[in-house]
Amino acid sequence: MNTPMNMQFIETRLLRIGYCEWNPQGEHTIVLAHGWPDSIRCWHHVVPHLVAAGYRVVAPALRGFLPTTFLHEDTPRTGQLSSLGRDMVEFVAALGLNKPVLVGHDWGARAVANACGLQPGIASHMVMISVGYGTNDPAQSLSMEQTQLYWYHWFMATERGQRTVRAEGKAFSQRMWDTWAPKGWYLPDEFEQTAMAFNTPDWAEVTLHSYQHRWGHAPSDPYYDEDEKKLVPAPVLQMPTLMLHGALDGVSLPATSANKEKFFSGLYERHLINGVGHFPQREAPQKVAEAILEFLK
């Protein structure tokens, strides 16, 4: 499914958010938030299934990813996870959505979960893909295997890593695509098309701050101090939640999303998808769509 030519835009306090929309007459809305390093394109084979089921579907580009841009040059290119949650809260408000279903992959999963933590009742349901809840705390324990897989987090805290992301961000991202899922899972042209979303200096700066901040290697943006207080430690969430995780995820081990029931006061389900790596919505879009629709029943 190709990106619609009529890309739409809406402004929040800090951003001009680009988003795609399908089936605007749908009675209930599903918001799809992509991850890193990815773009709106990641949902295009999931969307037809959701539309066929009668849903309105909206997919925004996250901060730092084109076509979303900052409104002002002097706004810090913050990537801390609370900022992603606040962006989602403001996006939902700007569109006037009433309790949409919030679905997110990777960074998008953190965005939708943090939005639900910042504004209880914002969503009717939540779906997290590939990133488990309650994994934002830098004091969390990590297995040696998971620590090794997170090499790129700490690489970005070094001067060499920062130079690499700024000068060779596309190649750096393709390394992730090549190692996070079973070999040969994507077509080269699909990566090329997706990487166009990284073609802005904002992408590198938001990326660097996000990974540096989450391990204490960069200061918080004071703008989000109150939001940080609401999200650390991770609050218990109330809305029905589905967790989808590829059994062959090459960066976030399935163990990282296990045993999270304590964070949810309502219905919580977790499904592993066999034969799939870190990008389930790309690798097995029909299975992802069917799991979402079955959960929403």
What does the pLDDT look like over 5-42, one tens digit per residue?
579 999 999 999 999 999 999 999 999 999 999 999 99
pLDDT of residue 141: 84
Residue 158 structure tokens: 């070094």
Q: Report pLDDT for 4.
A: 47
Question: Residue 182 pLDDT > 90, yes or no?
Answer: yes
Domains with residue ranges and CATH for the chain: 8-133+144-296 (3.40.50.1820)
Looking at residues 161-167, what average pLDDT do you find?
98
| Cα of 204 vs its chain's centroid, Å | 16
pTM of the model: 0.97
Average pLDDT over all residues of the chain: 96
